[in-house]
Structure 1
């Protein structure tokens, strides 16, 4: 219980018992999007949905978050190598310089074991997306102001 703070230079970070709460000093607050192993699960799930290469995966995550977050190639490509080393994905046949990955049988079994965790991760990513109210919600909000 309680608060603790830290930071460097002109930035001041505040934390509470639930983790990161904000940054003061301008700019957007940044925090780690994925904990250990979570990006692996998201990438594996996206590859299981359809064979993809690294750039496709970055764009798919960006779409899930409504453009609010896109993982860097510097984290995606090493994670793909790790998934390949673990035997969870393999290169699919493809044309051109970019080789898509596809999930292996072992990868599908891993996804089945982690289905609840993956669902929660995907929900969390979708929750990051800015919410665009529907036309009915905009009309309702406008009517309540008059």
Structure 2
């Protein structure tokens, strides 16, 4: 009795093709955001809409019908650029416009950063590892990015 073998084709994309698909999905996200009112009202970015749609399609295709391999040579550069530019939209006038709610959020975030660090240090001590690892597992990894 031989095992059943299935052939799943693999599509290897170079840098230009990868960029083209990313741009296409971004524009699909723009189109969907304009046509679906709730996405506009909830201020969901077009890139997120297109990216989630592509991720869902890739989830359905992967290991079933088609495996897509992307060129990732420039991924570290673009990730650094992305996370570097996240804070460029912040300004004092924008923070003032947020009012008391922004101040409350800032205070709560700061307090919870300390809570995360002390909790991480305590748990790491219980496991007998360096407390620095507890800090890295605390607020260092949990604070930052586009959601803050």
TM-score scaled by length of structure 1: 0.24
> Which of the pair has more CA radius of gyration?
2
Hey, which of these two has a bigger chunk of helix by percent?
A: 2
Hey, which of these two has a bigger chunk of strand by percent?
A: 1
